[in-house]
Structure 1
Amino acid sequence: MTKLEPGSPEWTRTITASKIPGILGISRWTSQYALWHQMAGNVVEHVSEAKQENYDYGHAVELAAAEFWKYRNPGWRVSRGEVQFTRDELPFPNAATIDRRGSRGRARRIVEVKTARSLEEWGDDGSGNAPADYVAQVIWQQFITGWHVPADIVLWPQYGMPRIYTIEYDSRIADVVVEKAHAWHRSLVDGIEPDLDDTVATYETVKQLHPDIDGSTVEIDADLALQYLGWNQELKQATKTMTGLKSRLLDAMGDAQYATCNGEKIADRRPTRGDSVALYANTKLDLATLKGVQAA
C-alpha cells in the first residue's frame, strides 16, 4: 500500500496506532469526542510551532535510540526508518507505523521510541511498567504486523538515561482493541458522536465546531446555568487559594528540589525557561496517607 502521511485525508480516516488510546478512552492527550470529530473531518488538528518542534525532536531522537537499542540487543539489526503495515482483511481502514523494525534472521520485532522530560512525565508510576496508552498502541502494532513476540519501547528522557520497556503481546487485549476499533469505525459511518466529557480536548473541539457568532440567543435549562455560574465562582476562589498555598510551599522549600511529609513526596521544583522554576504537585499520592498521619 502507499504509505499514509500524518495529516493527509487518508490518514485522518484510518485507524492507526496513535489513535487507539483515544478510541479506548485512555489517552492522556485527547478525548473520544475530540478524536471522533477529527476523524470525521469536522475539525482540523492545529500543529503549532512548539508541537512541530517536538515532532522534529522525536524524529531526531529515534536515530540515537535505535543505536542504544542495538547495544542492548546484540545480533539484532534495525530498519533505517519507519515501516508501515496494514491488514486488508479487517472491515475498516487500518494501519500501524512502527518507528523501527528489529530483525535477526527471520525474526522480527517492534522497536518504538518515545520522548519525555522525565519518568514522571512519561507516566511511570514507579512500577517500571509503560503507561497504558502506549501499551495499547504497541499491542495494536503487534496485531497489525503479526509479530506477536515481545516489543520494546525505548524511552528517551531529557533528564536521565534511556530506559527500555518490554511489551508482551496479549491476544485477549488485542481482540478487545480490534472490536472497539470496528465499533468506532461504524460510529463514524453512522454519524454517532461520543458523549461530551470534561476534558480540555473536548472543550477545545466544541469551540472549533462553533467558531461563528450570529447574534442570536439560546435558552438553556436552569440546572446547567446554576452549575456553570456556581462552579465559576468556586474556581475563582480556588485559584486564589491555590496561589497562596503554592507561595507558602515554595517559601518553605527554599532551594530544595523535593518537599516531603513523613517521607512521602508532596511536590518538586523543576527548572523552566530562563531563571525561573515551576512547582509540580505529586498527584499520585493517596491523600488518605497524609490524613492518617495528621490524625495520629
Structure 2
Amino acid sequence: MTAVETPTGVLLGTFTPGSPEWEKARGGLCVTATEIAAVMGLSPWQSRFSLWHKKAGLPVPPFEASPQIEWGNRLEPAVVGKYEDEHPDLILLSTGTWRHAERSWQRATPDRLIALREDIDGRPVGIFEAKTSPYGDDWGRDGTDEVPVYYRCQVIWQQDTLGLHARTPIGVLIGGCDYRELYVDYDEGDAKLMRDAAAEFLRTVEAGERPPIDGSDATYQTIRVQPDGLEDRDVEIPAEDAARYETAQRQMADAKSELTAAKATLLDHIGDGKRAVVGDRRIAYRTVRGGKTYSLNPYTSKDTAA
C-alpha cells in the first residue's frame, strides 16, 4: 500500500531513485530533506557552496555511490521488516516524493510512512526512517533521541513538509547485527529556523549570490570542476591569498609529520590488536595483510551511511 495523503503534503509521485523523474522532482529551486542539513552547514557530505552550485545549474562533481550508501539501500527492507516485527500494531507504507501544500519548494522523500494496522484506510500517522551504520558513531542507546544532527534536520524537515508531527522513530542497524530504535521529536522552533534558512538560501541562488568558500572537501571538489579547458597564461592573485596558501602548505607539512608520529604511537599501543579505544569511544582500527599492519584508519561520523 502507498500513502497518498497527509495533512500538509502533496504527493508528486513515486520515482526510482536516480531516474530523470526522480531528479526532476528533487531538482530546481527547492530544498529536500536530504539537503536541509547542507543549507544549515551541518552535512558531512555537502556544503552550502556545493549545494548552491547544484541549485544554480552549475557544474558539480558526479554523484558516486559509496559502499556505505549501497549497503544502506540494500539493507533498508531488512530494517523496515524488523521494525514491523517489533510493532505488530503498525504497518509501514511505501511512499514517494512530497512537497508542502503551500511551500512548493519544500520537498521530502521519507523512507516509509506509519499507519495503524487496524485502520483499513491506511491513513499515515507518522514517518519512519531506516538507517545503517558500520560503527555506530554519533548514535545513542536504544530508545533515546541521540541521533546524528544531520539526520535530525532531515527528519524534522520531513515532519514539517508532510504535517506529520508525531515522534518519528529511526530504525538503525549498526555493524550488521546491532538494531536500535531512536527517536526525533518535532520542534516548531527548529522547523521555522530551517524554513527561514532554506528560503534565504534559495533567494541567494536566484540572485546569483554565491556563498563564501569554506574548508569542506565538497566545496573544493565543486570549485575543481568549474573550469573547462586550460589556457597557458598567468593569473594575478591577491597577495593575502598567496600567503594563506603558502602558510597552509607549511602547516600541512608539520601536521603530516605529527600525524605520522601519532599513528606510530597508536600502532605501538595496539600491537596485534584491532582497535584503539578510550572507554566506550573507538579511535582507530588496524587492517592487516599477510599478518602485517596494512593501515591505521580513524573512526569518523562520515562512516555512517545515509
Instruction: Give the corresponding residue for 1:147.
Output: 164
Task: Give 1:271 deviation, angstroms.
Answer: 4.3
Q: Which one-letter code corresponds to 1:185 in the other structure?
A: L
Q: What are the superposed Cα offsets for residues 77-104 of structure 1, whole Å, 9 maximum, x if unpaired?
A: 012x3433211311x5232111111110
> Comparing both chains, which one has the higher relative contact order based on Cα–Cα distances under 8 Å and sequence gaps of 6 or more?
2
* CA distance 1:266–1:152, change in 2 (3 Å): closer
Q: What are the superposed Cα offsets for residues 191-244 of structure 1, whole Å, 9 maximum, x if unpaired?
A: 111111111111111111124321121111222212211221221232133223
Q: Which moved more, 1:245-254 or 1:160-169?
A: 245-254
d(CA) in 2 for partners of 1:21 and 1:270?
32
Q: Which one-letter code corresponds to 1:254 in the other structure?
A: G
Structure 1 residue 219 corresponds to structure 2 residue 231 = no
Instruction: Give the corresponding residue for 2:100.
Output: 87
Instruction: Give the corresponding residue for 2:58.
Output: 42
d(CA) in 2 for partners of 1:169 and 1:247?
46
1:194 to 211, 227, 231: 211
Instruction: Give the corresponding residue for 1:292.
Output: none
Q: What are the superposed Cα offsets for residues 44-79 of structure 1, whole Å, 9 maximum, x if unpaired?
A: 34133x53x544422221111111111222200012
| Within-5 A mapping of 1:92-131 | 92-104=104-116, 105=119, 106=123, 108-120=125-137, 123-124=138-139, 129-131=146-148
* CA distance 1:44–1:227, change in 2 (3 Å): closer
Q: What are the superposed Cα offsets for residues 227-280 of structure 1, whole Å, 9 maximum, x if unpaired?
A: 21122122123213322331232023212344467x686833254799756435
Structure 2: segments with no counterpart, 5+ residues = 1-11, 302-306
Q: Which one-letter code corresponds to 1:78 in the other structure?
A: L
Instruction: Give the corresponding residue for 2:151.
Output: 134
d(CA) in 1 for partners of 2:186 and 2:45?
24
Give the conservation status (yes or no) of the 8 Å contact 2:115–2:124. Answer: yes
Structure 1 residue 58 corresponds to structure 2 residue 75 = no
| Within-5 A mapping of 1:65-76 | 65-76=79-90
Give the conservation status (yes or no) of the 8 Å contact 2:136–2:175. Answer: no
* CA distance 1:124–1:193, change in 2 (3 Å): same
Task: Give 1:30 deviation, angstroms.
Answer: 1.3
Classify the secondary structure of the residue corresponding to 1:89: coil
Q: Alignment identity in percent?
A: 26
d(CA) in 2 for partners of 1:143 and 1:76?
22
* CA distance 1:163–1:182, change in 2 (3 Å): same
Task: Give 1:140 deviation, angstroms.
Answer: 0.5
d(CA) in 2 for partners of 1:70 and 1:3?
22
Instruction: Give the corresponding residue for 1:157.
Output: 174
| Within-5 A mapping of 1:9-28 | 9-13=24-28, 14-28=30-44
Q: What's the C-alpha RMSD, in Å, of the aligned pairs?
A: 2.8
TM-score (norm: length of structure 1)? 0.83
Alignment: residue pair count: 277
Classify the secondary structure of the residue corresponding to 2:191: helix
Instruction: Identify the structure with the greater helix proportion.
Output: 1
TM-score (norm: length of structure 2)? 0.80
Classify the secondary structure of the residue corresponding to 2:146: coil
Instruction: Give the corresponding residue for 2:9.
Output: none
Give the conservation status (yes or no) of the 8 Å contact 1:258–1:265. Answer: no
Give the conservation status (yes or no) of the 8 Å contact 1:96–1:144. Answer: yes
Give the conservation status (yes or no) of the 8 Å contact 1:102–1:109. Answer: yes
* CA distance 1:278–1:129, change in 2 (3 Å): farther
Instruction: Give the corresponding residue for 1:293.
Output: none
Structure 1: segments with no counterpart, 5+ residues = 285-296
d(CA) in 1 for partners of 2:150 and 2:96?
21
* CA distance 1:208–1:64, change in 2 (3 Å): same
